[in-house]
Structure 1
Amino acid sequence: MRKQRDRLQWALSALFLVTLIGSSSLDPAVCPAGEFPVKSSRDVRLMKAKVRAAQFLSKATFGPTQESIDSLARRISEIGFKRATSQWIDQQFDLQPTSHEAVARDIIHVDGREPNTQSIGVSLYRYQAWWHIALTSEDQLRQRVAWALSQIFVIGDSGTGFNNDDKRSIGGGRETITDWLGMSDYYDMLSEGIDGTYRELLEDVTYHPCMGDWLSSRGNRKANISAGRFPDENYAREIMQLFSVGLYHMHQDGRLKIDENGNLIPTYDNEQIKELGRLFTGFKYKHYSRNDFYVPRNFGEPMEIHVAEHDNNLNYSEDPNAPASKTVFGTVLPPLPSAVTQADVKAEIGAGLDAIANHPNVAPFICRLLIQRMVKSNPSRAYLRRVTRIFNDNGRGVRGDLKAVVKAILTDPELYRGHRVVRRRNPTRVDVIVRGTEYSRLREPILRTTSLIRAMRPTTNYAAGYMMLSNGVGGEFGQMPFRSPSVFNFYLPDYQPPGDLIGHTPSRRNPYDSLYAPEFQILNGVTANKMLNRFRVWAYRRYVQYGMRKGTCRITFHLEPELELAKDLANLDEILRRFDLWLCNGSMSEATKTSIKNAIASEPSASNVERLEVILNAVVLSPDCAVEQ
């Protein structure tokens, strides 16, 4: 049976793989998806709530569990979707943030090592900590939003010194954190920054030494005309293009503005880049006793300003008649005094960040990116308008309140409009109807992985209950936390797969008159095949296992109830409904389920274990699971 099972699974896998890779040229029309039989009207209400809960949790966490679905569904059935999810969001944000740096240190100590233990690849504990937090932390919403923010304010571990296992004295009896922990510190900054505003987070990002090294603002010197030296403009360019306003002026509903000739209107030009290049000068590592510009690396504290290397508007200019000030998006920054202090420079930089954060493009630009990372690839004009309204004013006069923005994103009706959940009779059941292209997105490989593991009632054999995967997963899936190949993230927000969407024209609700599918940029024949193989191994073993820095971590799936059900072919529907709800949010089509059931039934001598393994793998690999509605 093992060979027969393998042939069966490979046939299903090949079918699903071809369907998924070819889906960039297919437009799934509104069509029936899951069917969930119920016995009474009360059960109808609860079943609808379960589908809604699963759909919500797949976007607000690293994957729903049976317990989390049941808990939220009960609350939804009692007080309604928006009130229940709003309460859930508030409860999540009240939880203490889980620190990546602290968890990494704890795992190291469990292994009997130190953060600066040499020659063991100690920096890889950074990834182990990330996986454990994503898979197990209580503050799931905060961590999921931090993951989204990390794909906007991007840094990657190819930066100078990011993987070093050294620390050093920085005066005053103080030592730095070990270099490799700097990226964990940066991630924690994003996580904790959710409690504040976009403007506050933008400043934290600007002063963080990892960003300083990644985009070369740390060590950025003022110009020396005679020596032919001008400020580095790397951070100046990316803070506008990627972290705030984007390339072109936008309406608040996401539509791009055009001039009288029908051309897009750029948000900035080369002169604006130069002005910001001058603004972001003088940054250096924090040190407690040395006052020179080139002090030892310190990735654990915000950068400080070396006044002598900050452009003071007085000692150079390509135009000798230029004003002794800097201008950011039309805002003339306050002139610096003749005797400049560090406080003066920070005030000038703060004024420049104010001008950036107050640009009208920031709300639609940032809100669109957050919606793409959390809900769907193509938010409608109305969805963007509703969320940007909250970004611009949270109702209490605060701009850029990140918690309020997240709540607006996750409680908006468009989050669940990818599904219609309806009651049917004869027999009584709840049907899920999916609405197709403009309501969907391809799941990121990371989220497919975390969702699978979290749904399987996992336990771990590792000391102190740590649940971890290897950083090698990134080489198989094309995506790994902390390992973005460039500041442009793993994929571009405007990426479109090659080929046409046959028979589909974007609706008027779409702000761009075009459809985008960012995650498809890393889906190709190689990564799809590697994911197929990896998920197949996990499903057949019913565990995930990787070697760690010390020993092996095995994450075991506990599917005993489903194994018992699999003893009887009459229970296949129930198993598929469970996996559909946990892994596909109820969107798996009955046609897909029938294909799986028929394949299983064709081998009546198969054991319950073999049946369950094939079912699990077929569900995980199906387009219904890969494409989130």
Structure 2
Amino acid sequence: MGATREQIARVQQLGYAGWITEQMAMPRSQSRWDYLVAKKLNGAESKNTEAGHDAAFWRKMVVSPDTLRQRVTLALSEILVASLSGFNASWSNFSSAAHMDLLETHAFGNYRTLLQHVSLSAPMGEYLTYRGNVKFNPATGSLPDENYAREVMQLFTIGLVQLNNDGTPKLNGGLQQETYTLDDITGLARVFTGWNYDMAGADNNSPEYKRRPMIVAANRHETGAKNFLGSSIAAGTDGLTSLTRALDTIFAHPNVGPFIGRQLIQRLVCSNPSPAYVARVSAVFNSDNNGVKGNLAKVVSAILLDTEARSASRLSDLNFGKLREPVLRFTAWARAFKASSATDAWAIGNTSDPATRLGQSPGRSGTVFNFFRPGYVPPNSAIANARMVAPEFQITNESTVVGYINYMQTVVSKGVGDVKADYSALLPMADVADTLVDELNLVLVAGQLAPATTNLIRGGIDSMPKGTNAARLNRIYAALVLVLASPEFIVQK
């Protein structure tokens, strides 16, 4: 999410494991939902708007002190996707906030518990269209909506093909094996019938029902047997019991550990983890110190403390690392230089436009498949020739590269909306290019700027006037933009 000098010193003081433990123990800051309420956006006049959505999301990403929780929440939001663009009912801003707050609540909890809450949540019911889903109608032939049944398996738990614990596909006669069939989707879809908002004592002129778990209407729920993934839920089983048993069955599948573990590694560390790295993380996912499956706190710790994540030898490994996604380039700048919003409006707005902004905006994925797919391969590239993946390159092209630089040039020098950085610590360094660039190299790039890049930036800054605060600020702006544009910053190692 970005680091300050103080955070770097804290990690040095506590060590990696100590810092992670401290971060996980931090209390949560004000929720996105409560921010919207505090801004009085829960009145009927706001129910068909997106008011406050972007501010609530950016505020958390930029200033919440529990930076690790925010980073893991973002990662989970790119696996268990529910996006503002897919909320078609009233209070879409509160639906999006409720979903993200739910992920944040369980970011260091148990993945099975998280699945239960997500599956019962009104926002997910809206987004993947099983809210209001009804049982088979023999008179019309209409079948239950299969959307969530498909995506909870394909995207949230087991994926499309059978996996070994190291994330590699299981082969039978040299061929990959599917995890489920159309019959499994059809059988599982029967579980997700009859679910709808809990409107008891509520009305749609207040968003409160959007953060209540959905309830099931027995007369709309499929009462027949539900068969999927080699298991069966008996006819007559009530809706909540059916849903719980279905998720238990899915969660027991051996794919969940490697499928989710590998994606979390991709989001947090590198795009192409070795099978051995995935296997180590899968082992922790499948059983923590107490034999519990799905302990996300242990999984995140295992990911971040693994030798493949921590070894300095990886810095020279051309196959290691990941492209830093645009929103994290922004937060790296904002957090490093303590960006703040004097009015608490956080008027950064929607940054989705690839030509003029970041080409990505938190909570605004275009589809349930996230901004980018975990298996994306840039066509006609050295990455493709090496049989590697590079997920974030799916939103990287000529427009986004130029758009990002142009946007950040303005952000760095003028801020965005009411959000402005504090460069006071850099001003005493600005007259000496070496000192200024070395500081930016440390805080933004972890000291990884190549000598050629460093010399190029220093040369540019040395050519600029100095000696006054106005000149010093211009040198700071130029140095920042050049560092933020450098491949060593954009590729995270």
Correspondences of 1:296-311 after superposition (within 5 Å): 298-311=209-222
Change in 2 beyond 3 A, CA 1:404/1:625: same
Number of aligned residues: 482
The residue type equivalent to 1:184 in the other structure is: A
Q: 1:278 aligns with which of 179, 190, 193?
A: 190
Q: Counterparts of 1:135-150 in structure 2 under 5 Å? A: 135-150=62-77
Alpha-carbon distance between aligned partners in 1 of 2:390 and 2:92, rounded to the nearest angstrom: 36
Instruction: Tell whether the 8 Å contact from 1:100 to 1:184 is kept in structure 2 after alignment.
Output: yes
Structure 2: distance between partners of 1:599 and 1:287: 62
2:488 maps to 624
SS in 1 for 2:293: coil
Cα separation, 1, equivalents of 2:24 and 2:184: 37
> Which of 239, 243, 246 is residue 156 of structure 2 equivalent to?
243
Question: CA 1:270–1:577 in 2, change beyond 3 Å: closer, same or farther?
Answer: same
Alpha-carbon offset, residue 472 of structure 1: 2.7
Kept after mapping to 1: 8 A contact 2:49/2:92: no
Tell me the residue number matched to 1:410.
304
Q: Which residue of 2 aligns with 1:66?
A: 5
Judge conservation of contact 2:284–2:302 (CA < 8 Å) in 1.
yes
Using the TM superposition, give the Cα deviation of residue 603 of structure 1 relative to its aligned residue in structure 2, in angstroms.
4.8
Q: Whole-Å Cα distance in 2 between the matches of residues 249 and 447 of structure 1?
A: 32
1:604 to partner: Cα distance: 6.2
Partner Cα separation in structure 1 for residue 438 and residue 450 of structure 2: 11
Q: How far is 1:362 from its partner?
A: 0.4
Instruction: Pick the aligned partner of 2:419 from 524, 529, 554.
Output: 554
Q: Secondary structure at the match of 1:141?
A: helix
Per the alignment, residue 104 of structure 1 pairs with 36
Query: Are the structure 2 counterparts of residues 435 and 148 from structure 1 closer, same or farther at C-alpha, using a change threshold of 3 Å?
Result: same
CA deviation string 1:551-586 (max 9, x = no partner): xx132x33234322222xxx3222212111111122
Q: Secondary structure at the match of 2:416?
A: strand
CA contact (8 A) 2:216 2:239 kept: yes
Given the alignment of the two structures, is residue 574 of structure 1 paired with residue 452 of structure 2, yes or no?
Answer: no
Matched, 1:470 2:348: yes
The one-character-per-residue Cα deviations of 1:14-67 (angstroms, maximum 9, x if unpaired) are xxxxxxxxxxxxxxxxxxxxxxxxxxxxxxxxxxxxxxxxxxxxxxxx111111
Q: Give the match for residue 26 of structure 1.
A: none
For residue 450 of structure 2, what is the aligned residue in structure 1? 589
TM-score by length of 1: 0.73
Distance 2:146 2:41 in 1: 38
Query: Paired residue for 2:177?
Result: 265
Partners of 1:120 and 1:307 in 2: CA distance: 29
Q: Percent identity?
A: 34
Aligned residue identity for 2:215: E
- 1:531 is aligned to 2:404: yes
Counterpart Cα distance in 2 of 1:151 and 1:354 = 23
Task: Select the residue among 55, 58, 61 that pairs with 1:128.
Answer: 55
Q: Over alpha carbons, which structure has the higher Rg?
A: 1
Partner of 2:478: 614
2:273 aligned with 1:373, yes or no?
no
Contact 1:206-1:212 within 8 A present in 2 as well: yes
Q: What's 2:285 paired with? A: 391
Alignment match of 1:515 (pick from 385, 388, 410) = 388
Structure 1 residues 284-323: aligned runs within 5 Å: 284-288=196-200, 298-313=209-224
Matched, 1:347 2:228: no
| Amino acid paired to 1:146 | T
Which secondary structure state, in structure 2, belongs to the residue aligned with residue 332 of structure 1? strand
The separation in 2 between residues aligned to 1:479 and 1:505, in whole angstroms, is 27
* Residues 312 and 104 of structure 1: CA distance in aligned 2, closer, same or farther (over 3 Å): same
**Alpha-carbon displacement from aligned partner over 1:170-227 (angstroms, at most 9, x marks no partner):** xxxxxxxx55312211111111122431111111111111111111111111111231
What's the offset of the Cα at 1:531?
A: 0.7
Are 1:544 and 2:415 counterparts?
yes
Q: Provide the secondary structure at the position in 2 that maps to 1:327.
A: strand
- Unpaired runs of 5+ residues, structure 1, are 1-61, 76-83, 165-177, 291-295, 314-324, 421-432, 507-513, 547-552
Q: 1:451 to 1:284 in 2, by over 3 A?
A: same
* Cα displacement (A) at 1:117: 5.6
Aligned counterpart, 1:489: 370
Amino acid at match of 2:411: W
RMSD: 2.3
Whole-angstrom distance in 2 between the partners of 1:220 and 1:594: 61
Q: For residue 254 of structure 1, give the secondary structure of its aligned residue in structure 2.
A: coil
1:89, distance to aligned residue in structure 2 (A) = 1.8
Counterpart residue identity of residue 405, structure 2: L
